[in-house]
Structure 1
Amino acid sequence: MDFDRYDRIRPIRWQGDRLNLLDQRRLPFETVVLECRDSDAVAQAIRDLVVRGAPAIGIAAAWGLVLAGQSTEAADGREALARLGPDLARLRAARPTAVNLMWALDRMARVLAGAGADWRERLEREAQAIADEDLAANRRMGALGAALIAPGSGVLTHCNTGSLATAGFGTALGVIRAGVAEGRIARVFASETRPWLQGARLTVWELLQDGIAATLIADGAGAHLMNTGAVQWLVVGADRICANGDTANKIGTYAHAIAARHHGVRVMVVAPSSTVDMATARGEDIEIELRDQAELLSVSGLRTVAEGVQAWNPVFDITPAGLIDVIVTERGVVERPDPAAMARLFG
């Protein structure tokens, strides 16, 4: 498969003494790169959604710790780990729901704990390995997921799960890229994904860059679209997958999954194994991030709702495993996920 033809975007670029992040708040009309020269700037960028998507958040955080290490004096990795404790804590607190953030930082901390005087070099190599492994995993997932889709199918995706949300190629969008390349996917629909409009601003823009035709729909149009027979799969990413297969993803995913079950549309969750959290038994145990209500009350800083109105702004929802047909990871595919099926692959 010609991956490069459908894989042209890189949101995270390490420059040796700084981390360059493509500012996803400014897309699609402005291409702005934010330079981060310390870990606090990276943590703030993660909080402010400059970088977003669970895998990309983890990769950015890993590089943030590398930046913190560049201005830290320590004789070995164990001493460095102690000195970098506050930086680790600030990076961990940037986004609480995306398990990849914790996973990447835990991995970096383990490397530090076992490193000697070369701890800075070890830290940088590990961050690069996390990014390289994510790209390879995405391409593997793309091939595995596309193989499940019958030729000529239509798919609906929600939020942004492409190169912008990962090291490259994407998770759910990686499956769509691979499916288009193989002639399996004939129609692509993307829901707008309120309130940050990741589908409208990012997903359709990404696909446009790669020459893949995509049709945008309002979030509330998903059920009607499914009723027309235009789509056979709902293909989404994940921010955390529990031991029983329950999945946290962008708010609105649950509603799409309910509609899909009613209309006989199959549901595919695509995420790297680092998103699987076997220590969390079920979806009810996941902390759902609540963001500023101003995101719902305003558009581009302009208030669109009457003064005095309050808003509730959860960023994620939980799709129960019973509504998911397959979970695709680079390790393999879990069909009809439940605790036993998850344990066979991830136990």
Structure 2
Amino acid sequence: MTKVIPLDWKNDELILVDQRYLPHDISYVHVKTIEDAHEAIKVMVVRGAPLIGFTALYGMALWLRLQKDVTAPSIDKAVTYLESARPTAVNLSYEAKRAKDLILSSMQESKSLQETYDALVDFANEQMVKLGNDNLSMAKTAAKNLSELYGERPLRVLTLCNTGFLACGPMGTALGVISHLNSLNRIDKVFAFETRPYLQGSRLTAFELCQEKVPHQIVVEGAMSHILRTQNIDAIFIGADRIVANGDTANKVGSSTLAIVAKHYNVPFFVVAPVSSFDLSLSSGEEIEVEMRDPKEILCLKDQRIAPNESDAFNPSFDITSGLHISGIICENGLISPVTQVNVTKVAHS
């Protein structure tokens, strides 16, 4: 089975796998303008915090390519426009603002728009490579920590949503840890929550696990307590869309419940995310804006209404996991444990 490339830059356009139709239909969306990038992020053609960030980087390059004149206010307008696509994942804002800084720096150096465009594309390509290396470093940190806990025996692990190459481009974050452990023959079984209502677990994570021939089972989130009580889970790994100064973490809805249940059963619960997912300007999770999605994602299945016509739905895409319920946060700079504001700040800035 040929590995799917979720994001590819070719001939001045961004080619994205349309993740809404995986696993049974592999189709592509060609992004040629900033409007295309905004739409791809908003409707979840592309998803996963790191990949959303890269789409923003390349989206800013596509915007720049079509400009005849660039000013600071016009750059700000482009950044704000991209940021409006989805509010919770900090990587979107982080990468759009890095593009802004590069463009402004080039303007100060009197570089041409073409030179600036080429530099921005090169920068985005370099960051993709860097993320792959950083995620491998995170996976090795996790593997070392698990060896200290359990020795070298095969492990039974659990994950929520999708945090693999479909979410990151190169190697994944939380699912990257699992992929790395599998390469070391240290996975007995992976339990992947289906992740309602968008089913990123059963559609995307299971797709990646099949591609890498990782033994796994898909389970419903309602079985959290039962699985942790009966299936001898060694560790849980999730990703993050935003980690704030005290360690509170925004991630796919269900993460907070999973962390609370894991703490009850004394199962280690790890967040795996790059420093680009940290937002130390916020002191606690109470300050994170949680994206609300279309109620139709709950009320309908494949555009077919399954709930009564009179019913409405409450559909937050994310929830906030307290840092108090997280055993450790793993980033490219190392392991943050215990999760405290001092440790988060120290490791994020190291």
Deviation of 1:84 (Å) = 3.7
User: What is the DSSP-based 3-state SS (H/G/I as helix, E as strand, rest coil) of the residue aligned with 1:268?
Assistant: strand
User: What is the DSSP-based 3-state SS (H/G/I as helix, E as strand, rest coil) of the residue aligned with 1:114?
Assistant: helix
Contact residue 129 and residue 170 of structure 2 kept, 8 A: no
Q: 1:43 aligns with which of 27, 38, 42?
A: 38
| Aligned residue number for residue 84 of structure 2 | 93
Q: 1:336 aligns with which of 335, 338, 343?
A: 338
Deviation of 1:80 (Å) = 5.0
Where does 1:1-347 land on structure 2 (aligned, <5 Å)?
8-74=3-69, 79=70, 81-115=72-106, 116-117=111-112, 118-149=115-146, 150=150, 151-347=153-349
Deviation of 1:337 (Å) = 0.5
Please give the per-residue CA displacement for 1:4-26, whole angstroms capped at 9, x wherever unaligned.
x9x94420000132110000000
- The separation in 2 between residues aligned to 1:214 and 1:72, in whole angstroms, is 48
- The separation in 1 between residues aligned to 2:22 and 2:306, in whole angstroms, is 21
RMSD over equivalenced CA pairs, Å? 1.5
- What is the TM-score with the length of structure 1 in the denominator? 0.94
User: What is the DSSP-based 3-state SS (H/G/I as helix, E as strand, rest coil) of the residue aligned with 2:190?
Assistant: strand
Contact residue 321 and residue 336 of structure 1 kept, 8 A: no
Deviation of 1:126 (Å) = 1.7
Identity of aligned residues (%): 36
Contact residue 173 and residue 273 of structure 2 kept, 8 A: yes
Contact residue 72 and residue 80 of structure 1 kept, 8 A: no
Contact residue 328 and residue 339 of structure 2 kept, 8 A: yes
Contact residue 76 and residue 100 of structure 2 kept, 8 A: no
Please give the per-residue CA displacement for 1:133-192, whole angstroms capped at 9, x wherever unaligned.
211111111111122223222100000000000022100001001111123321111000
Deviation of 1:83 (Å) = 3.4
Contact residue 188 and residue 215 of structure 2 kept, 8 A: no
Contact residue 65 and residue 88 of structure 1 kept, 8 A: yes
Please give the per-residue CA displacement for 1:38-88, whole angstroms capped at 9, x wherever unaligned.
1101100100000000000000111111111111123xxxx3554344332
- The separation in 2 between residues aligned to 1:16 and 1:97, in whole angstroms, is 31
Deviation of 1:106 (Å) = 0.9
- What is the TM-score with the length of structure 2 in the denominator? 0.94
**Structure 1, unaligned stretches of length 5 or more?**
none
